[in-house]
Structure 1
Amino acid sequence: MTVSALALFTLAACGTESGSGGGSGDSGDGSGTVRTESHVTGVHWNVSSLTVGGKKTAAPEGAHVRIDSEGKATGNLGCNRFTSDVRLDGDKVTVGRSTTTGMACEKDVQQFENAMGKAFHGELEAAVAGRGDEQTLTLTTAGGDSIALASEPPAPLTGTTWKVTGLASGSTAASLPAGTEDKAHLTFAKDGSVEGSLGCNSFHGKAAVSGFTLAFGPLVTTRKMCPGPEMELERALLGVLEGRTTYAIDHRSLSIEAKSGKGLDATAPAAGK
């Protein structure tokens, strides 16, 4: 049930991408409602809530869906990730092939996913309202149950506090040393500077941005001695934040890779937090 629910959810959002002449939406009356066949792909949609049988349930944190222009959608309902194909017919959508992870979820999250499984079946109708970075998407079943989503803009490189969440070596990802979670972070400024914490010592320095590259100058750090895991993390980060590196942002996730192949992963807080 969970697999089909996730697929249906994804498909519903994707279904709003395609337009057939009679789709719903604004015709330019200034109400803020836009046509469902536009403004959907390439948007990170946070799941806000699910309403089943008149009862509204808030979605787990991190629940989202993203639709591409190739008939694919991916997302997360707060626990399991999913991918789905879609078949479209105007504002109606039909479930295609779907896959999902099978992690065990916390009780309340599992209950939400089970509710999604009951709500998402048959045909779904989509409606988009708002403009720019402030849009909402509502998906409604034939029985009147609905899922509410809201767009969230990607985090900018500069001015964002990026929390370091992982390390990498080439294509191999690794978690942070035990006990160092939430200790390292970095913030880039528009003037080409960077500052933050390496997990033990604070630092500041230069980080010139050009395209998808970051050129770090020598970093100035404090000189505290910290427990072993924190010093291990600090050494690893100093090996990444030096010289010319490449970076990429995927919505609110940042990855930086040095020429050596060493890298880091970081995340930004949700918009408004």
Structure 2
Amino acid sequence: MLKTRTTAATAVLASLVVLSACGTERSGSGPGAGSVAPDVPVAGAHWAFDTVTVAGKETRAPDGAHVEIGKDGRASGNSGCNGFGAEVSVEGDTVTVKQQQGTEMACPGERGAFETVLRKAFTGALKARVDGDRLTLTSSDGENVVALTSEPPAPLNGTEWTVESLLAGQTASSVPAGSEGKAHFVIDKDGKVRGSLGCNRFSTTAKISGRTVTFGEITTTRMRCTGPEMALETKLYDVFGDSATYELSHRGLTLTAPDGSGFAAVAKPAPKAAS
């Protein structure tokens, strides 16, 4: 797993310098008249939400909350529960966000609270400031502030993945209430798999060929599990007990069994660089 974000983030931001060449022309006779104000480089990076502040109250983002802004102005992300889309335009140091419809899974507890404030703050014309791998977006009245950090992609092997939703064909649903964050695993570089199914710890092996992962015999501890943990464990056991197709999306992973069942997981946040 990558130990720092500063080097990777610097490389990402350096590659975005070309985006600043089409900056905003200043007019008038004052200082800077006729010069070009570079567009703030926000496209092409994976930005993890750190905190959102609305009317002076700060809310910390859950694991997996992020947004990726394409060079074409199309953005996609996740609030830590639901996925969302947006259109983003950049003019100088102003980033304008027009949110679009996303998924509609129920978001309990802290994830639901964060999604609510994110929708309020991450919209409209926002003043942007980039400082190394940090991005800050502030509303014109200063009441709403969104703080983000660019993150490098996560490899399949060696990353700690936390299960955040269950898949059934094209449908995603939240993990059973009460089991959030309890299922996680690592596929080591030597193919050994270890982790938790939500209650019991497990281990197996993984052989990777193309986009297919073939799991070996699975062994688990023998704790008695009831309620949401057991419901989650049963679903995951079926996926890890056979072969599955995997798909990586920067810091997201899906594993899908031949029958269409599976799960989506998110990488453990990369360590933050010292301020």
Cα distance in 1 for partners of 2:116, 2:230 equals 41
The unaligned stretches of length 5 or more in structure 2 are: 1-16, 25-37
Residues 1:184 and 1:142: Cα distance change in structure 2 (over 3 Å): closer
Residues 1:79 and 1:116: Cα distance change in structure 2 (over 3 Å): farther
What's the CA shift string for 1:95-146, capped at 9, x where partnerless? 6x543569999898599569738xx765x5544332xxxx122446677886
Cα distance in 2 for partners of 1:160, 1:51 equals 33
SS of equivalent residue, structure 1 residue 165: strand
Residues 1:214 and 1:79: Cα distance change in structure 2 (over 3 Å): closer
Structure 2: which amino acid aligns with 1:255?
Answer: T
Shift of 1:49: 5.6
Structure 2: which amino acid aligns with 1:60?
Answer: R
SS of equivalent residue, structure 1 residue 236: helix
Cα distance in 1 for partners of 2:113, 2:261 equals 38
Cα distance in 1 for partners of 2:20, 2:180 equals 45
Cα distance in 2 for partners of 1:139, 1:203 equals 42
Shift of 1:165: 3.0
Structure 2: which amino acid aligns with 1:46?
Answer: F
Structure 2: which amino acid aligns with 1:209?
Answer: I
Residues 1:230 and 1:75: Cα distance change in structure 2 (over 3 Å): closer
Residues 1:127 and 1:241: Cα distance change in structure 2 (over 3 Å): same
Residues 1:111 and 1:37: Cα distance change in structure 2 (over 3 Å): closer
Aligned 8 A contact 1:17 1:40 in 2:
no
SS of equivalent residue, structure 1 residue 235: helix
* Identical-residue share of aligned pairs (%): 40
Instruction: Give the aligned length.
Output: 237
Alignment of 1:2-21 (within 5 A): 18-20=19-21
Aligned 8 A contact 2:185 2:193 in 1:
yes
Cα distance in 2 for partners of 1:45, 1:172 equals 24
Q: Match for residue 166 of structure 1?
A: 165
Shift of 1:184: 2.8
Shift of 1:89: 4.1
Shift of 1:212: 2.7
Q: 1:68 aligns with which of 67, 70, 82?
A: 70
TM-score, normalised with respect to structure 1: 0.64
Check if 1:227 corresponds to 2:230. no
Cα distance in 2 for partners of 1:161, 1:245 equals 18
Q: Match for residue 248 of structure 2?
A: 249
Cα distance in 2 for partners of 1:231, 1:142 equals 48
SS of equivalent residue, structure 1 residue 239: helix
> Bigger shift: 255-264 or 78-87?
78-87
**RMSD of aligned alpha carbons:** 4.3
SS of equivalent residue, structure 1 residue 155: coil
TM-score, normalised with respect to structure 2: 0.63
Q: Match for residue 100 of structure 2?
A: 99
Cα distance in 2 for partners of 1:110, 1:234 equals 27
SS of equivalent residue, structure 2 residue 194: strand
Aligned 8 A contact 1:80 1:100 in 2:
no
Residues 1:59 and 1:17: Cα distance change in structure 2 (over 3 Å): farther
Cα distance in 1 for partners of 2:235, 2:228 equals 11
Alignment of 1:107-186 (within 5 A): 116=121, 125-130=127-132, 135-139=133-137, 147-177=146-176, 179-186=178-185
SS of equivalent residue, structure 1 residue 240: helix
Shift of 1:235: 3.2
Q: Match for residue 29 of structure 2?
A: none
